[in-house]
A and B are shown apart, each in its own frame.
Chain A
Amino acid sequence: MKSGTFPGGLCLSVQTAGVSMSFEAVPPSRQVTIPLQQHVGSPCGAAVKKGAEVKIGDILGESSGPDTAAVHATVSGKVTEVVKKFPDMHGGASPAVVIESDGQNAVGEFSMEGSDPLTLIEQAGIVDLDREPVPLHTKLVAAKEKRVNTLVVSGVDVEPHMTNRSALLAERASDVASGMEIMGGILGAKVCIGVSEDASGAVSSICAAAGSANVVTLKPKYPQSLKELLVKAVVGKEIPSSGVPEDVGVTVVSVETALAVARAVNEKKPLLERFVTVAGSAVGNPRNVLVKIGTLIQDVLEFCGVSSVSKGKVIIGGPLMGVAISSTDIPVTKETTGIYVQEKGEVTDFPSGVCVKCGLCVQVCPLGLMPFLISGFSESGSYAMAEKEDILTCNECGCCAYVCPVLIPMVQWIKLGKSEIRAQRSSE
């Protein structure tokens, strides 16, 4: 079978030798900080007070509406503080519960009840990984209402250097398949999973475990993981401009989500950990680790042997789409897929030059946009022109700025343009 793909994009050769593909568990920190909001939406209210004793799996915050997701304790110990505002990776802040671990790792009696999968998913506090992570139960309810006919599971690694999805598929294909089947059952939809063709271990194990689900192999090209391109390659339909996959009868979830669903429904266990790739020049050999939610990035880096990143960059996510953070005192949350650490020498400066109209950005744009043009319009404040050239279709994958020979920070300008246009719209 021919592998699916898309026009444009980047084929990056990335070190594969020495990548540790089995997940090592990062030992729980002495202290964890668990935000009560780990997705797009609202925080849930704290269900514990300062001084409370908690065990693993105890509820810290209960889901109180469609835009909230339950939050659970990931270590046993004492709640030392309920902070109103703890910084998050996006530069904002959300309330958080700080737990001092007693080192016992005592597991509480999970309070998850019932047999309805959707209820269990809601109780497990599962958040689907995406560029804008949302509570999974909300996503599934909305998808059901829209009568989607296909569930597309993203088994493609998010970015070059990130290997956690391939590793998960190779290691835990049967759990993933079970989760896929459960979600397919909830939606009454057929299930497809997209896997990168070069992840050989992942392809063979998921093919063996998939059952009735359809395994679609995809060319290893960035940014295949974006839902626009994934839906096109797997289902053959384009999501309409400024629409959602549900508009074409598709809903997209990630492999991590499928795994969490299997645990929630089969074992009645909440979402307590994330499978994270740690890579970058400061790391040496890239590794895949299993991290308890609430563990500080700094503790993860120390576990991976990263000693100093002074004047370097710590990026949550991958090197192309990840978010650079200003402090490593930020916890791993349900939104974390990877950590990419650059040494000082690897940090790229983008000293914007003058566009020479070479057309490279047009060639690589996977969405058929003219990046230099919309970026230029944004730079000059001509937002109406930028909008006419479909600036809002841009999904900020960064291919354009990656290839630009004069290092124009195109994504930065495009982001500015998009936010200005949206601000203008909402004020009207």
Chain B
Amino acid sequence: MKTPELVVSAIPHIHSGNSIRKIMINIMIALAPAVLIGVYFFGMDTIRVIAIAVGSAIGWELLLQKIMGRPVAINNLTGAAGGLILAMILPPTAPWWMICIGTLIMILLGKEIYGGLGNNPFNGVLIAWVVLQMSYPDQMMYWLAPPGDFMTESPPLEVLKTEGVQAVSEYFSTGGLLMGNTTGFIGEVSSLMLLIGGAYLLIKKVIPWQIPAGFLAGIILFSGIFWLANPQEYANPFFHLLAGGAMIAAFFIATDMTSSPVTPKGMLIFGLLCGVMTVVIRQWGAWDDGAYYAVFLISVLTPLLDKIKPKVYGR
């Protein structure tokens, strides 16, 4: 053996192979069940919204990174995954121009303006969604009914707000809410499909269990208190869990890496607060569904929650 040329570097010498790209691919795989049932319910409209959202997100990312003189990083698929998640929380009727405005805001205000991935204080998907919700309320609430017989063409949480608990239990069965046989945003309607995707992410350890567990526990505990006190006026906890954006927010939106806390304890509290805030907005807020606003608001607390550190060995 001749004296070989050897590589020398600091430890460790092996790596898990984890990457942002792999995480994003897993997130998109996990959304597949919800996408498929979206296609089943809303047909070509689902495909149209997803194609425009993903395509325009990648396009904006490419353009903005070129303009800002940054290395082009569309290969890490954060733009694509962000576009897909945003598509999931838009109505199937969303017009193309609104989707493009949404993805521009998502990439620009949600990421690039702060210096790129990792430096953004907020979840870009949520910034985009909030802007669209505020700016185009009509387009954002123009529902398309899935096939089948319906007692109502309003989403479950709108019924709760306008017609009350009685109407909710009349109109919606648990099975219907699980399958997603209601009007609503493309990807939020079927809790079952989101749970399947969420389980995949947990098994693959793509997302920490603390955030979704805290989120769902927060919803059940907080809404449970009111339901136990007065079931005539307040909806039961499982309705809150299955209706609206609770599931997609818990597994796919609140788990955004950059805008959520870094420590296990911080993540659990973050999830709990998101769950509680969701119920607060739903019960007393002006909006029908509080899940997305809740995550947006609670992510303001992330720097504070990051101060809850693990116990250091020997201290």
Point out residues on A near B: beta carbons under 8 Å: 7, 228, 232, 238-243, 298, 301-302, 306-315, 319-329, 340, 342, 346-348, 350, 353-360, 362-363, 365-370, 372, 390, 393, 396, 398, 401-407, 409, 411-412, 415
Contacts and interface: CB of A to CB of B under 8 A. Distances in A.
B280 to A, nearest CB: 26
Nearest to A10: B16
8 contacts: A241-B312, A241-B315, A312-B6, A319-B13, A320-B14, A347-B7, A357-B118, A369-B310
Given A228-B313, A243-B314, A401 B15 contact: yes
Nearest to B262: A359
A348 B6 CA distance: 13
A328 B12 contact: no
B3 interface: yes
Contact of B258 (A7, A347, A356): A356
Interface string B184-219: 000000000000000000000000100000000000
B25 to A, nearest CB: 12
Given A324-B13, A359-B262, A398-B11, A314 B6 contact: yes
A359 B311 contact: no
A356 to B, nearest CB: 4
A325 B13 contact: no
Interface string B241-283: 0000000000000000110111110010000000000000000
A359 B13 contact: no
Given A311-B4, A312-B4, 6 more contacts: A241-B314, A309-B6, A319-B14, A323-B11, A356-B20, A404-B15
B314 A393 contact: yes
A322 B11 CA distance: 7
B314 A239 contact: yes
Interface residues on B, range: 35 or more
Contact of A357 (B16, B257, B310): B257
Contacts of A302: 1
Contact of A321 (B8, B12, B18, B309): B12
Contacts of A365: 310
A362 B117 contact: no
A366 B119 CA distance: 27
Contacts of A241: 312-315
A302 B3 CA distance: 12
Contacts of B261: 359
B10 A310 contact: no
A401 B3 CA distance: 30
A354 B11 contact: no
Contacts of A310: 4-5
A8 to B, nearest CB: 9
A350 B17 CA distance: 11
B22 interface: yes
A24 B5 CA distance: 28
Interface SS of chain A: loop
Contact of A356 (B257, B311, B315): B257
B8 A326 contact: yes
Interface string B19-49: 1101100000000000000000000000000
Interface centre among B16, B117, B261 (most CB of A within 10 A): B16
Contact of A315 (B13, B257, B315): B13
Interface SS of chain B: loop
B224 interface: no
B1 A301 contact: yes
Interface in B275-315: 309-315
B15 A402 contact: yes
Given A325-B8, A402-B12, A402-B16, A362 B264 contact: yes
Across the A-B interface, give the 8 residue pairs with the lowest CB-CB distance, nearest first: A398-B12, A359-B262, A412-B10, A368-B310, A354-B118, A367-B313, A241-B314, A358-B257
B116 interface: yes
B12 A320 contact: yes
A301 B4 CA distance: 12
A405 B262 contact: no
A372 B3 CA distance: 38
Contacts of B6: 309, 311-314, 324-328
B202 to A, nearest CB: 14
A265 B70 CA distance: 66
B9 interface: yes
Contacts of B18: 360, 403-405
Nearest to A347: B7
Nearest to A238: B314
B106 to A, nearest CB: 16
A398 B15 CA distance: 10
Nearest to A372: B262
B13 A313 contact: yes
A362 B265 CA distance: 11
Nearest to A161: B14
Contact of A308 (B4, B19, B263, B312): B4
A354 B13 contact: no
Nearest to A344: B7
B267 to A, nearest CB: 7
Nearest to B11: A398
B262 A396 contact: no
A324 B267 CA distance: 37
A187 to B, nearest CB: 23
Nearest to A248: B314
A301 B7 CA distance: 17
Contacts of B119: 354
A307 B4 CA distance: 10
Given A310-B4, A359-B267, A370 B309 contact: yes
Contact of B263 (A232, A298, A346, A362): A362
A406 B263 contact: no
Interface string B124-159: 000000000000000000000000000000000000
Contacts of A348: 13-15
Given A359-B257, A359-B261, A402-B12, A312 B7 contact: yes
Contacts of A354: 115-119
Nearest to B115: A354
Contacts of B12: 319-321, 398, 401-402, 411
Contacts of A390: 312, 315
Contacts of A322: 11, 13
A405 B22 contact: yes
A411 B11 CA distance: 7
A359 B205 CA distance: 12
Interface centre among A312, A347, A362 (most CB of B within 10 A): A362
